[in-house]
């Protein structure tokens, strides 16, 4: 067993510490690194805690404010490219990290690409109406708002959070449907075409079109013109 060594007195410690500091200052960088590596093997948790506090404050002396931000060191174009690979939820989350990330994650080009992705596409008429509603006076489009509305609509559909209306009137199966902002037109195996007004709460058709002698196979609605094709080998145009 090695004999126990009593701690030095305050005066002895001061002399030894002064001598040790002089030695350390005379060492090369490689020698200093070796001394520090050896010291780390002989210190306890309290010394490690003190060391981490001291190092943490010194590491970033003289650094710019965003030195700890890896995105902040990148060119804006490259940072945008990285953010463009994020899904909508992740993009919203990174916008809460700091002001710089929020400004970057709010760029219109990111939300425009998401809005125009096939997964979030609307019908042509709905797309035009939404863009008109989300366009500012200077002609710019709030693409983030566009996407938020589409995301909520998509989530409502998936969660069945929607109002279901049922329209009745055909006596046999419905074979085709067309619609616009205020009308639904359906063709049926009962040889008829029915028109519903979506602006009213009535579930019964407001108009029934007859003329085909067999099931109605297809419809096309354009303005006030309706074209129908039937299994009776005829095409009819209604105005």
- Domain of residue 86, CATH code: 1.20.1280.50
* Predicted local confidence at residue 58, as pLDDT: 73
Answer yes or no: is pLDDT of 220 > 60. Answer: yes
| 148 and 105 together in one domain | yes
Prediction pTM value: 0.49
Answer yes or no: is pLDDT of 22 > 90. Answer: yes
Answer yes or no: is pLDDT of 26 > 90. Answer: yes
Boundary of a domain, candidates 134, 158, 182: 158
Answer yes or no: is pLDDT of 1 > 60. Answer: no
Provide mean pLDDT across the span 95-115: 90
* Predicted local confidence at residue 201, as pLDDT: 64
**Confidence band for 163, pLDDT divided at 50, 70 and 90:** confident
* Predicted local confidence at residue 153, as pLDDT: 84
| 80 and 154 together in one domain | yes
* Predicted local confidence at residue 157, as pLDDT: 78
Range of the domain at 180: 174-238
Between residues 21 and 201, which one has the greater pLDDT? 21
Examine residue 42 and state whether it is found in any structural domain, yes or no.
Answer: no
| 131 and 193 together in one domain | no
Mean pLDDT of the chain: 86
Beta-bridged to residue 220, according to DSSP, are 227
* Predicted local confidence at residue 56, as pLDDT: 72
| 81 and 141 together in one domain | yes
Examine residue 83 and state whether it is found in any structural domain, yes or no.
Answer: yes
Provide mean pLDDT across the span 162-183: 87
Examine residue 11 and state whether it is found in any structural domain, yes or no.
Answer: no
Examine residue 121 and state whether it is found in any structural domain, yes or no.
Answer: yes
Q: How far apart are CA 63 and CA 57, in angstroms?
A: 11
**Confidence band for 7, pLDDT divided at 50, 70 and 90:** confident
Provide mean pLDDT across the span 131-159: 86
What is the number of structural domains in the chain? 2
Q: By the 8 A CB rule, do 180 and 125 touch?
A: yes
The CATH number for 179's domain is 2.40.10
Q: By the 8 A CB rule, do 148 and 111 touch?
A: no
Provide mean pLDDT across the span 203-230: 90
DSSP notation for the chain: -PPP-PPPPHHHHHHHHHHHHHHHHHS-HHHHHHHHHHHHTT--HHHHHHHHHHHHHHHTTT--TTTT-TTTTS-HHHHHHHHTTS-HHHHHHHTTT-HHHHHHHT-HHHHHHHHTSGGG---HHHHHHHHHHTB-TTS-B-HHHHHHHHHHHHHHHHTT-S-----B--SS-EEEEEE-SSEEEEEETTS-EEEEETTSS--B-SEEE---SS-EEEEEEETTEEEEEETTS-EEEE-
* Predicted local confidence at residue 203, as pLDDT: 67
Examine residue 8 and state whether it is found in any structural domain, yes or no.
Answer: no
Between residues 173 and 55, which one has the greater pLDDT? 173
pLDDT in tens, 78-96: 999 999 999 999 999 999 9
């Amino acid at each position: 067993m090695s004999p126990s060594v009593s701690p030095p007195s305050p005066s002895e410690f001061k002399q030894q510490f002064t001598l040790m500091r002089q030695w350390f200052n005379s060492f090369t960088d490689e020698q200093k690194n070796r001394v520090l590596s050896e010291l780390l093997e002989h210190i306890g948790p309290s010394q490690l805690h003190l060391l981490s506090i001291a190092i943490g404050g010194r590491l970033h002396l003289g650094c710019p404010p965003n030195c700890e931000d890896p995105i902040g060191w990148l060119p804006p174009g490259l940072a945008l490219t990285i953010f463009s690979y994020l899904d909508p939820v992740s993009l919203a989350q990174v916008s809460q990290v700091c002001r710089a990330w929020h400004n970057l994650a709010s760029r219109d080009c990111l939300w425009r690409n998401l809005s125009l992705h096939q997964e979030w596409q609307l019908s042509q008429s709905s797309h035009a109406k939404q863009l008109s509603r989300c366009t500012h006076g200077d002609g710019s489009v709030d693409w983030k708002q566009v996407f938020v509305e589409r995301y909520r609509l998509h989530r409502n559909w998936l969660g069945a959070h929607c109002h279901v209306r049922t329209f009745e009137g055909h006596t046999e199966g419905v074979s085709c449907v067309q619609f616009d902002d205020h009308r639904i037109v359906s063709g049926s195996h009962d040889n008829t075409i029915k028109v519903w007004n979506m602006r009213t709460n009535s579930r019964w058709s407001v108009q029934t079109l007859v003329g085909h002698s067999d099931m109605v196979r297809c419809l096309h609605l354009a303005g006030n013109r309706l074209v129908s094709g039937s299994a009776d080998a005829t095409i009819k145009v209604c105005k």
